[in-house]
């Protein structure tokens, strides 16, 4: 009955249109009243939930990504990707996927990826003879890579939701191979569709111009080297790499590229602060909600239920995948990570599944949810950028859903994809 009151009030509050963060907070208060614990205890959890040093990585990575996104980086990445693969049949779709890979490694955000890359490439692909719906589907599906490729904001949230038992560095490195696998799978699908539909080839860029484009893009791509190189070498932590990335992004944008006006900088910082504030409110209320779930023994009950159905870890992983896919279509990614990780992590740990591996499974599942109606944030952004109805974009995404599902199956049942690189690097 305790769990029904807590979870039922949360679902009911969301059903009447209340924002997820406030639904979590009010449901926590209702649960606290129900089991008769002091509200002081809930407030302490709220404060301690956001009073964590590791959370500093989120605002810094968000700010670095925003500076690079609005400072002309996306246009340069598109041009750089065009040098590498633009001459192939259907090359612009490959440029889209590759540019998303590069930009995801800078922004760590699928929404920012879709908005930046889509605003450049969707009109260009249409001008070159690609259907707008196909161009949009490539853009939104390619942006899911940003969920996996470091510096993923959601990896930081997963580490937090796991109680700090999983290091951010190991999650960052674990996402590299699954992210590249996703990009490769989508690229192969684009090649197949391009050959079938006879989409146009691009032109080979002259060597002199190609070298200029590569040199111009390298300044921005150095952000990836700073983030990953610094963490792997042990020179600085994930938090420190995020702050240094901000300094580098600011330097490149304002002094090298010089496409961004100084007078617009305060507005960018204001938007970043608003975004981070929303995330922090969500984290605080999710900490309260998780505390109540622990007191009500909800994780233990879920573990008992799932292991009662089967003791085969592959069957339970399949059940968890189905659950995450369904919930991912109904809720945004960040709250689901914060709510579900404390519930599901004890289950997978008991089955001997590595928490880092499970983090990647969760990321891929919920990343697919970002482009799935009715609550697909990235799908909405892509539709808005392309000025197309959501239904049209969803239909165009159908073959890409199949490709992403194949990646999900490989990440789920081939643990080495997630664990080989962190173990090789001793993380």
- The conformation of residue 164, written as its DSSP 8-state character, comes to T
Instruction: Using pLDDT thresholds of 50, 70 and 90, give the confidence band for residue 338.
Output: confident
Give the whole-angstrom CA distance, residue 314 versus residue 320.
Answer: 10
pLDDT above 70: percentage of residues in the chain: 100
Q: Distances in Å between the alpha carbon of 256 and those of 185, 248, 318?
A: 35, 11, 49
pLDDT at 72: 73
Q: Distances in Å between the alpha carbon of 53 and those of 32, 274, 313, 360, 394?
A: 27, 20, 34, 23, 39
Give the whole-angstrom CA distance, residue 178 versus residue 188.
Answer: 15
Average per-residue pLDDT for the chain = 85
- Residues 346, 393: contact at Cβ < 8 Å? no
Higher pLDDT, 69 or 27: 27
Distance of CA 255 to the CA centre of its chain: 29
- Residues 371, 144: contact at Cβ < 8 Å? yes
Q: For residue range 72-102, what is the model confidence (pLDDT) as tens digits? A: 777 788 888 888 887 888 788 888 898 888 8
Instruction: Using pLDDT thresholds of 50, 70 and 90, give the confidence band for residue 242.
Output: confident
200-204 long-range contacts, Cβ below 8 Å, gap at least 24? Answer: 200/89, 200/90, 200/92, 200/128, 200/129, 200/130, 201/87, 201/88, 201/89, 201/90, 201/91, 202/82, 202/86, 202/87, 202/88, 202/91, 202/92, 202/95, 202/128, 203/86, 203/87, 204/87
- Which of these, 274, 303, 247, lies nearest to 67 by C-alpha position? 247
Least confident piece of the model among 141-145, 203-207, 365-369, 412-416: 203-207
Q: Distances in Å between the alpha carbon of 336 and those of 58, 313, 345?
A: 17, 22, 13
- Residues 79, 215: contact at Cβ < 8 Å? no
pLDDT at 426: 75
Residues with Cβ within 8 Å of 104's Cβ and at least 6 positions away in sequence, in order, are 110, 113, 143, 145, 146, 149, 179
Q: For residue range 351-367, what is the model confidence (pLDDT) as tens digits? A: 889 999 999 999 999 99
Q: For residue range 179-215, what is the model confidence (pLDDT) as tens digits? A: 999 999 999 999 999 988 888 877 778 888 888 888 8
- Say how many domains are in the chain: 1
- The conformation of residue 387, written as its DSSP 8-state character, comes to T
What range defines the domain where residue 332 resides? 2-424
pLDDT at 135: 92
pTM: 0.86
């Amino acid at each position: 009955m305790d769990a029904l009151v807590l979870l039922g009030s949360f679902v009911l509050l969301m059903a009447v249109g209340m924002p997820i963060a406030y639904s979590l907070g009010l449901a926590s208060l209702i649960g606290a009243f129900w089991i008769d614990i002091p509200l002081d205890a809930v407030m302490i959890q709220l404060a301690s939930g956001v009073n964590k040093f590791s959370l500093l990585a989120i605002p810094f990575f968000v700010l670095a990504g925003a500076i690079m996104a609005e400072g002309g980086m996306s246009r340069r990445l598109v041009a750089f990707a065009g040098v590498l693969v633009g001459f192939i049949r259907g090359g612009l779709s490959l440029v889209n996927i590759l540019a998303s890979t590069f930009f995801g490694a800078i922004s760590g955000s699928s929404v920012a990826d879709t908005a930046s890359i889509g605003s450049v490439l969707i009109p260009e692909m249409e001008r070159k003879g690609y259907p707008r719906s196909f161009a949009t589907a490539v853009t939104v599906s390619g942006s899911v890579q940003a969920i996996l490729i470091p510096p993923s904001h959601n990896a930081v949230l997963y580490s937090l939701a796991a109680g700090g038992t999983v290091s951010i560095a190991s999650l960052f490195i674990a996402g590299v191979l699954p992210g590249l696998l996703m990009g490769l799978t989508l690229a192969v699908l684009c090649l197949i569709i391009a050959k079938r539909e006879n989409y146009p080839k691009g032109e080979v860029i002259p060597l002199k111009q190609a070298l200029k484009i590569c040199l111009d893009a390298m300044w921005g791509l150095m952000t990836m080297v700073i983030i990953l190189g610094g963490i792997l070498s042990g020179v600085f932590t994930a938090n420190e790499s995020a702050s240094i990335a901000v300094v580098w992004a600011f330097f490149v944008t304002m002094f090298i590229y010089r496409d961004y006006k100084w007078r617009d900088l305060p507005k960018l910082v204001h938007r970043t602060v608003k975004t981070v504030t929303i995330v922090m409110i969500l984290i605080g209320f999710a900490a309260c909600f998780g505390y109540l779930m622990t007191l009500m023994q909800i994780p233990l009950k879920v573990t008992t239920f799932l292991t009662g159905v089967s003791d085969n870890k592959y069957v339970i992983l399949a059940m968890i995948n189905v659950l995450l896919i369904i919930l991912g279509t109904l809720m945004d990614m960040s709250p689901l990570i914060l709510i579900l990780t404390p519930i599901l992590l004890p289950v997978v740990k008991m089955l001997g599944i590595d928490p880092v591996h499970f983090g990647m499974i969760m990321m891929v599942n919920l990343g697919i949810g970002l482009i799935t109606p009715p609550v697909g944030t990235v799908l909405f952004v892509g539709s808005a950028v392309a000025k197309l109805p959501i239904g049209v974009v969803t239909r165009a995404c159908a073959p890409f859903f199949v490709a992403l599902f194949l990646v999900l199956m490989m990440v789920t049942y081939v643990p080495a994809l997630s664990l080989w690189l962190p173990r090789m690097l001793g993380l």
